[in-house]
Amino acid sequence: MTSSGTEKALSLLRRLPRVSIGNLGPNPGAHNEKRRGRGIYGGKTHGAGSGGSGQRQNFMRVGYETGNTPFYLRFSYQTYYKGHHLKLSYTPLCMGKLQMMIDTNRLRCDVPVDVTQLMATGLFSISPQQKEGGFMLENEGIDHFKATINIEVQWANEAVIASVERNGGFITTAYFDPLSLTAAIKPVEFFGRGIAIPRRMLPPQHLIDYYSDPKNRGYLADPAEVARERFLLAQKYGYELPDVNASPNKDILLERKDPRQIFFGLEPGWVVNLKDKVILKPTDPELKEHFAS
């Protein structure tokens, strides 16, 4: 005769489903559920690393606050940098460095200086993909700036403009959209792609005012107003504006780009063949009209 316990067990066995991985579990206390520390300085080390490394100069990652949620992770966003992904950043170029490049013949002054010429020195790197717009001229060294150049940058303030014009030079601020900038900074690479030179696009809404202002020597401003502003700035800073016509580099100083032009002397729509050393120009009137617009 079977006992009640055995009977119960047997009846249970009859009723229960087939034993499988899906219906098996460990006994309580079989698995250690202790959480393993991660990282050399974090985890379960109470913010001191292992083996007394906190006593020596083994620094934890910047911002780490020995375990609690750090300041830089507490706030998912801040209002002060709203729209930062839409704004461009510019490579700073001090007037002192510009003067040094001219003094050491690193930057050629027999042609107008623009983004292409500055990049050709090999001293800078610009990545339009990282929302970099080009060059901005800085004040450092404006007192020692003595060169007479025709320069085109993306941003310049009043003092810088005065220092360039005081020496008989000309400065223009011009906008390059990312695709045009990619072409402008590495022309050899661009010509190797076999694409027609694109038209330079106009600045976005938040920049169009800057480039239309004659005070900033914007490339979209009226040349007559720019000339007037040159005269006014000379009076403000107290120097006499040198006469361009008397300068031996008159042609270089007066060279300007069309707002749709990327390179001096080369129009949109042309294809430059570096291998055969020729320029291919479109003849179809529709194409010509498009590129000229």
Partner 1 sequence: MALKPCVRQLGGVAQVWRCVSRSIAHQTYRITAGNTCHDINDAQKAAGPTSARLPRLRHTIPESYEKVEVSTAEWSYVERLLPLKSIPKPTGNPGEVMPSGWVVPSAKPGDYPYFVPRSANHMLPVYLLHKPILSKHVTSVKHVQGDIFALSEELREHLTQLLPSRKIINMRVHEPHQMIQIKGQFVTELKEFLLKKGF
Among 43, 54, 100, 220, the residue binding partner 1 under the rule CB under 8 A is 100
Amino acid at 122: G
Angle between helices 158-166 and 223-237 (to 10 degrees): 90
Identify the CA nearest to 161 among candidates 149, 150, 171.
171
Q: Which of 153-161, 185-193, 219-227, 237-245 is the region at the interface with partner 1 (rule: CB under 8 A)? A: 185-193
Q: Interface with partner 1 includes 279 (CB under 8 A)? A: yes
Q: What distance in Å separates the CA atoms of residue 57 and residue 46, rounded to the nearest whole number?
A: 17
Q: Interface with partner 1 includes 84 (CB under 8 A)? A: no
- Please, are residues 43 and 36 in contact by the beta-carbon 8 Å criterion? yes
| Distance of alpha carbon 148 from the chain centroid | 28
Query: In 10 A of CB 218, how many CB atoms?
Result: 22
Q: Interface with partner 1 includes 99 (CB under 8 A)? A: yes
Letters for 110-139 (x = contact with partner 1 by CB under 8 A, - = none) are -x----x--xx-x-----------------
Q: Which of 9-17, 37-45, 145-153, 208-216 is the region at the interface with partner 1 (rule: CB under 8 A)? A: 145-153
Least CB distance to partner 1 at residue 217 (A): 22
Query: In 10 A of CB 53, how many CB atoms?
Result: 15
Judged by the rule CB under 8 A, the positions of this chain that interact with partner 1 are: 57, 59, 96-97, 99-100, 102-106, 111, 116, 119-120, 122, 141, 144-147, 179, 187-188, 191, 193-196, 198-199, 201, 263-266, 269, 271-284, 286-287, 290-291
